[in-house]
């Protein structure tokens, strides 16, 4: 019977990984601390039984088991068979946590650093904002081997959630999400009036509402013709409105954290007083005008007219109606031409 002699030479070198060669598989081996690894040669038993195929099993692995492994097989007949490979033992990733160096941030004014800590060996880091990978840019710096993320001049879109994914060849773990509190605004300050119309009759009720994009929510101050009103809040109600309340209304949004303000475009409120009474006059004054029916006035030198006198203030517009319901054109006077 042939006798197979096995010689294992172990060296504790840790730098880099190399591939196997000779009678050992071509790939390098990775394993976890506490696990088991099997070195298996490429030899297969023949009809004449070998004592062994030259395999080696190492159990309850420790980091100190990392290194280069060599095997020399000396058969009874023939030359020496040899091979080598490298084994790298990794400590699995665990205890991944993200912390921020600041919690109260102001858009465009503040910067923040996020630090990712973890246990394990040969660690690599990947940062995520939501589901998107965070990469370095003019405002974003990734340092300390990838474990620190710094954002310069934060914006409202940097709120997160941020996660840190830590991995090595044998494991990967993702941290719990971390959200940043970023104050911003006010922006897009907008004023609306209801009902929306060109003129309002004295005594009407009007509601003005103001909105703005802001965090925290904006505070609102109201103005009439540039003068501050005592009213505050997102809504201004004008009840039983009077002529003296006509003018340009605007609202100013204020953020008490960013200390920024923004004023809306003005909204015009025009209040009309009257008309209180209407007096119709016909010129020239006659009892009858032509045939029966709607009056027909014949004039060759000037236009006869029907006029109206209205007492009141503001801009007055008239609409004339015939008995059959048809409208005349607008104006103070209506000239009746020959039929």
| Residue 278: predicted pLDDT | 59
Q: How far is CA 297 from the centre of its chain?
A: 73
Contact 105, 181 (CB under 8 A): yes
pLDDT of residue 154: 98
pLDDT at position 26: 67
Superfamily covering domain 94-179: Immunoglobulins (2.60.40.10)
For 91, phi then psi, to 5°, come to: -85, 125
Would strands 267-269 and 271-283 be described as parallel, antiparallel, or unpaired? unpaired
> How far apart are the C-alpha atoms of 329 and 327, rounded to whole Å?
7
- Global pTM reads 0.67
Tell me how far CA of residue 56 lies from CA of 13, 68, 219, in angstroms: 19, 13, 75
Question: For residues 172 and 163, what is the distance between their CA atoms, to the nearest angstrom?
Answer: 13
Spatial contact of 160 and 130, defined as CB atoms under 8 Å apart? yes
Q: Give the pLDDT confidence score for residue 18 in this predicted structure.
A: 34
Structure tokens at 169: 């060849």
pLDDT score recorded for residue 25: 65
Q: Tell me which fold the domain 5-90 belongs to.
A: Immunoglobulin-like (2.60.40)
CA dist., res. 165 & res. 195, Å (int): 55
Contact assessment for residue 285 and residue 306, using Cβ atoms and an 8 Å cutoff: no
CA–centroid distance for 176 within its chain: 20
| DSSP label of 77 | S
Centre a 10 Å sphere on the Cβ of residue 40 and count the other Cβ atoms it contains.
13
- Round to whole Å and give the CA distance between 54 and 46: 13
Domains in the chain: boundaries: 5-90, 94-179, 186-269, 275-335
The C-alpha atoms of residue 30 and residue 49 are separated, in whole angstroms, by 31
d(CA 219, CA 221): 7
Task: Kindly indicate whether the domain formed by 186-269 is annotated with CATH number 2.60.40.10.
Answer: yes
- Residue 89, pLDDT score: 93
Whether 5-90 shares its CATH topology with 186-269 is answered yes
DSSP character at residue 323: T
Q: For position 76, what pLDDT does the model report? A: 73
pLDDT of residue 19: 40
Tell me how crowded residue 157 is: count the other CB atoms within 10 A of its CB: 10
pLDDT means over runs of 10, the chain (339 residues): 37 34 67 74 49 73 89 79 88 98 94 98 97 96 98 96 97 97 98 94 96 98 97 96 96 98 97 68 60 43 39 50 51 47
Strand order, beta sheet including 94-100:
94-100, 112-119, 148-151, 140-143
Q: How far is CA 294 from CA 214, 287, 298, 323, in A?
A: 65, 13, 13, 9
Cα gap 23→75, rounded to integer Å: 13
């Amino acid at each position: 019977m042939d006798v197979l002699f096995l010689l294992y030479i172990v060296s504790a070198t840790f730098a880099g990984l190399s591939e196997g060669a000779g009678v050992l598989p071509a790939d390098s081996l990775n394993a976890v601390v506490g696990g088991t690894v099997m070195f298996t040669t490429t030899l297969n038993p023949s009809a004449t039984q070998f004592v062994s195929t030259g395999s080696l099993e190492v159990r309850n692995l420790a980091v100190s088991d990392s290194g280069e492994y060599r095997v020399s097989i000396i058969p009874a007949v023939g030359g020496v068979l040899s091979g080598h490979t490298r084994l790298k033992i990794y400590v699995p990733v665990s205890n991944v946590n993200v912390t921020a160096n600041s919690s109260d941030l102001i858009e465009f004014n503040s910067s923040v650093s996020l630090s990712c800590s973890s246990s394990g060996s040969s660690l690599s880091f990947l940062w995520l904002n939501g589901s998107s990978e965070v990469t370095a840019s003019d405002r974003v710096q990734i340092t300390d081997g990838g474990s620190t993320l710094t954002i310069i001049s934060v914006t409202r879109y940097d709120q997160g959630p941020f996660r840190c994914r830590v991995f090595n060849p044998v494991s990967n773990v993702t941290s719990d999400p971390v959200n940043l509190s970023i104050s911003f605004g006010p922006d897009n300050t907008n004023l609306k009036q209801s009902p929306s119309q060109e003129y309002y009759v004295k005594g009407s009720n009007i509601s003005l509402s103001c909105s703005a994009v802001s965090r925290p929510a904006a505070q609102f101050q109201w103005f009439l013709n540039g003068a501050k009103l005592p009213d505050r809040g997102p809504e201004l109600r004008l009840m039983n409105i009077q002529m003296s309340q006509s003018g340009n209304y605007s609202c100013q949004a204020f953020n008490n954290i960013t200390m920024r303000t923004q004023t809306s475009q003005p909204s015009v409120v025009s209040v009309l007083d009257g008309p209180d009474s209407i007096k119709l006059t016909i010129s020239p004054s006659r009892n009858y005008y032509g045939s029966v029916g709607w009056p027909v006035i014949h004039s060759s030198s000037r236009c006869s007219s029907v006029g109206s006198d209205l007492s009141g203030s503001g801009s007055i517009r008239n609409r004339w109606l015939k008995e059959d319901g048809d409208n005349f054109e607008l104006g103070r006077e209506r000239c009746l031409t020959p039929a």
